[in-house]
Chain A
Amino acid sequence: EVQLVESGGGLVQPGRSMKLSCAASGFTFNNYDMAWVCQAPKKGLEWVATISYDGSSTYYRDSVKGRFTISRDNAKSTLYLQMDSLRSEDTATYYCARHLRIITDYFDYWGQGVMVTVSS
């Protein structure tokens, strides 16, 4: 069974940093691209970043470029999101998702999400 379990969220002050982790199991992690998708309170879903299966390519939405870094450790089957210079508008639940990008562009498994609150 595919499982994605996020951790590392919480309350952080504006301008500070936070690192999220996503532990994957139930599939061959290094065969798949992975992504982070966020959801601000009472709002819709927003793609944040994607990393290729081997970590060689990364993609970001404009609003996080230069502030967020997606990475992975295939030996540990773990995905990361390093978030720097956090802003109040980054407050959201962050979901880790498996990202299928062959033929389609589709998130086929999602974690339960981890809440990040940026506030002083």
Chain B
Amino acid sequence: DIQMTQTPSSMPASLGERVTISCRASQGISNYLNWYQQKPDGTIKPLIYYTSNLQSGVPSRFSGSGSGTDYSLTISSLEPEDFAMYYCQQYDSSPLTFGSGTKLEIK
């Protein structure tokens, strides 16, 4: 199975700050990488697919990039509703695997 490692595991940040979350795959995944947000009540929402494509309805302050084994999710200016857990997910090979998650916390 492809292992997905996210860093950091938690990140204190302030409103308006620019933040970047990293996701590293145990082998190259050819940009087959998605990002999801999970709120404290458990609600899961897709954000980005195929590395950098924004899901419909997701604000433009979210962006994704990367290649090979290294990928990132950037939020350009944090809003209150952005404090949540974030997960990456690879689909280069089965089984689909998710990262361990990054908790974005209010500083």
Residues of A within 8 A of B (CB): 44-47, 59, 61-62, 93, 95, 97, 103-108, 110, 112-113
How many chain B residues touch A (Cβ–Cβ < 8 Å)?
Answer: 23
- With A104-B49, A104-B91, A108-B55 as known contacts, state yes or no: A93 contacts B97, CB within 8 Å: no
- Encoded as 1 (CB less than 8 Å from any A CB) or 0, chain B from 27 to 51 comes to 0000010101010001111100110
Interface of A, secondary structure class, is strand
Is B49 in contact with A106, judged by CB distance below 8 angstroms?
yes
Is B44 in contact with A44, judged by CB distance below 8 angstroms?
no
Is A112 in contact with B42, judged by CB distance below 8 angstroms?
yes
Is A44 in contact with B98, judged by CB distance below 8 angstroms?
yes
Residue of B nearest to A106 (CB): B49
Chain A residues near B43 (CB-CB < 8 A): 110, 112
Is B32 in contact with A105, judged by CB distance below 8 angstroms?
yes
Chain A residues near B96 (CB-CB < 8 A): 47, 105
B94 interfacial contact with A, CB 8 Å: yes
17 residue pairs of the A-B complex, CB under 8 angstroms, read A44-B101, A45-B36, A45-B98, A46-B98, A62-B95, A95-B44, A97-B44, A103-B50, A104-B32, A104-B49, A105-B32, A105-B34, A106-B46, A107-B44, A107-B89, A108-B46, A112-B42
